[in-house]
């Protein structure tokens, strides 16, 4: 069955590679034990790689605890904007965004934000 699949896909190879490719033979077929070994090994390597990647991407418990604690906007560190802007606070960024919302796509009228005023 594998040799038929290889023969069917051989037309996709460039002619110079097609001539160099070894011909599939009946003796190259895998035994059921080899197939099961290959599948089990591939599955084990995949699970181990995913476990390692999950562990590597995990956030430290202390960082998670701090992220669950709400903070006031004034408690955040200043954000370096670089160039002419220097550093700005989170409050300045939020105020700028509220006063200058992003432009809507052509033809779409954005909903007007209500003005929130003090006493």
What is the per-residue pLDDT across 24-79, written as a single tens digit (0 to 9) for each? 555 578 888 999 999 999 999 999 999 999 998 998 988 888 889 888 878 888 99
Residue with the two structure tokens 């599939």: 24
Distance in angstroms (rounded) separating the CA atoms of residues 61 and 59: 6
Number of domains in the chain: 2
Asked if the structure places residue 112 within a domain, the reply is no
Question: Where in the sequence is the domain holding 6, given as residue range(s)?
Answer: 2-48
CB atoms within 10 A of CB 82: 7
pLDDT of residue 15: 61
Partnered with residue 80 across adjacent β-strands are 87
Q: Is the model more confident about 103 or about 77?
A: 77
Report the pLDDT value the prediction gives residue 5, as an integer from 0 to 100: 65
Instruction: Evaluate whether 18 touches 10 at the Cβ level (below 8 Å).
Output: yes
Residue 107 in any domain: the answer is no
DSSP H or E segment with residue 87: strand 87-88
The H-or-E segment that residue 109 falls in is none
Residue 24 lies in a domain: yes
Dihedrals phi, psi of 110, to nearest 5 degrees? -75, 150
Does residue 16 form part of some domain? yes
Is the pLDDT confidence value at 4 over 60? yes
In terms of pTM, does the model score above 0.85? Answer: no
């Amino acid at each position: 069955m594998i040799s038929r699949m290889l023969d069917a896909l051989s037309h996709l190879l460039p002619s110079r590679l097609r001539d160099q490719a070894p011909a599939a033979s009946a003796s190259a077929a895998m035994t059921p034990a080899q197939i099961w070994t290959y599948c089990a090994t591939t599955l084990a390597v995949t699970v181990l790689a995913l476990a390692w990647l999950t562990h590597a991407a995990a956030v430290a418990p202390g960082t998670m605890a701090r992220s669950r604690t709400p903070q006031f906007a004034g408690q955040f560190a200043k954000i370096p904007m670089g160039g002419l802007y220097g550093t700005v606070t989170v409050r300045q960024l939020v105020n700028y965004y509220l006063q200058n919302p992003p432009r809507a796509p052509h033809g779409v009228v954005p909903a007007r934000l209500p003005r929130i005023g003090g006493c």
